Amino acid sequence: MPHVPARLSAEVITTNAAFARLEHEWDGLLDESDQQVYFMRWGWTHLWWTHLAPAGGELRIVACRSEDGALVGVAPFYLRRLRSLWMVDVRELLFLGTGVTLKTSEFLNIAARRGHEQAVARLVASVLKQRADWDRIWCCRVPGEAPVLQEFMSALAEKSTSRPYENAPYIDTSAGWAHYKSSLGRSMRRNVDYYSRRLFKKYSCEFARVESADALDHALDALVRLHVTRWEAQGEVGSLADPVFETFLRQAVHHSLAVGKLRLWTLKIDASIEAVLVGFLDSGILHYFQKGHNPDFSKDDLGTAMVALCVRDCCDDDAVQAFDFMSGGAAYKTMWARHSRETALSEVSRSNIRTLAFDVEQVLKSAATAVFRTIAPMRLRAARRDWLKTRELKDHLRKAAHLLIGLAAAVPASLERCLTWVEAWPVVADVAVLQTLLHALLIASW
């Protein structure tokens, strides 16, 4: 095993059994680190790997130990293979919880026991430098300020970049509800109380926090039903329509309740659950993860009223210091939150033919996207966005794109021939969308 001056040793975990054996040490390490984030807890990470990991992914967790065998550092990586335009596999390391369509985790990091941060970062870098089974490292939605990760990137001595990615708005709940309301604009300050008061006046309402296992499944059934119904009413597909994600979330919620890290609220209207909000609590931060509400009550602003009730409950809860909306560009978040934390995207690339192929592919994709946005009418672009939200068709498009672009890499005329073939492709529901994409790629290749 490789060693560094701090006299630590490292092991690369590659099997599910070895990952499972870390259960009782993993969270203890987090509790003695500055990387205490719910989405890095063993229970969440293990469930994500069990249910949501991409096909073909391989564990590459680096576990660092002191001389007495104590776990002092964990780098929760896994390896995936990306097929480039020229049919070359790019081997990419990334954090568990990332790399799939469904966004589930953020503020991921390398965990290190306090006092061992530099030694752990350098040891993880030393271990990976000696391995030839990866080409690039992709760390997405990591903290904007992450000293351990930054030390790791520096110690790798490879080509690396880091840039701001997304902001995660949050509400400071520590000073109470009245103080929070005073920070809002006049209209929002009035609405956060008005909508819930109006709702309770108009209907027979009961707002409650679920704290027992007996009531949990009933609340989760309502969450799934309401979430799916809400998105269907907008002509879209919600994440909980995916049975795999539903199973993952159900198990995660049960686990978090068992370890005291769940906050799940329900709102009954006339004795029926019509709104549910679920979040996960760790180190004083409540991460607002998922919500469902009945679109039949849209005129009553049920969604806004539910968020207001949950935020107020957090303001009254000494265990909660912040209500985190998590990262993403939804405009409503900035209406609620006056603070935000920055996430970053950090990447490392080795210099080889695989990363060269990958970099060229990214340039071509950017060019094709720019051309498509220029030549495609808004109606067609909207149709494309809707189409891409259907997972099965996304998978077919990805496979077809790799095939078609690979055939056209040397001879742009191949794309022209592919246009005729696409017209007869029975899987694609909206042939015009794919045809337009191919036209854009053809222009880009010229």
What does DSSP say about strands 322-324 and 58-65: parallel, antiparallel, or unpaired?
unpaired
pLDDT above 70 covers what percent of the chain? 78
Residues in the chain: 446
What would the two tokens of residue 284 be?
A: 């004083």
CB 92 within 8 A of CB 48: no
pLDDT tens track for 260-319: 999 999 999 999 999 999 999 999 999 999 999 999 999 999 999 999 999 999 999 999
Q: Report yes or no on whether pTM surpasses 0.75.
A: yes
Cα separation, 443 vs 371, whole angstroms: 8
Residue 232 has pLDDT above 50, yes or no: yes
Residue 65: count other Cβ atoms within 10 Å of its Cβ. Answer: 17
Residue 148 has pLDDT above 50, yes or no: yes
DSSP state of 113: B
More confident residue, 446 or 254: 254
List the CATH code of the domain at 9-166+343-349.
3.40.630.30
pLDDT tens track for 337-361: 989 999 999 999 988 777 777 777 7
Q: In the chain, where does the domain assigned CATH 3.40.630.30 lie?
A: 9-166+343-349, 174-320
Residue 6 has pLDDT above 80, yes or no: no
CB 281 within 8 A of CB 318: no
pLDDT tens track for 168-205: 999 999 999 999 999 998 889 888 999 999 999 999 99
Query: In sequence order, which residues have a C-beta less than 8 Å from that of residue 182 and are 6 or more positions away?
Result: 189
Cα separation, 256 vs 263, whole angstroms: 9
> Judging by beta carbons within 10 Å of its beta carbon (0-12, 13-18, 19+), is residue 126 exposed, middle or buried?
middle
Query: In sequence order, which residues have a C-beta less than 8 Å from that of residue 133 and are 6 or more positions away?
Result: 60, 79, 91
More confident residue, 125 or 328: 125
Residue 332 has pLDDT above 70, yes or no: yes
Mean pLDDT across the chain, nearest whole number?
85
Angle at alpha carbon of residue 209, lines to 205 and 213, rounded to 5°: 120
Give 174-320's CATH code, choosing from 1.10.1040.10, 3.40.50.1980, 2.60.120.330, 3.40.630.30. Answer: 3.40.630.30
Residue 83 has pLDDT above 60, yes or no: yes
Q: Which CB contacts under 8 angstroms, 24+ apart, belong to 400-403? A: 400/425, 400/428, 400/434, 401/437, 402/83, 402/85, 402/87
Residue 329 has pLDDT above 80, yes or no: no
Residue 227 has pLDDT above 50, yes or no: yes
Q: Which residues of 397-434 are buried (b: 16+ CB within 10 A; e: fewer)?
A: beebbbebbbebbeeeebbeebeeebeeeeebeeeebb
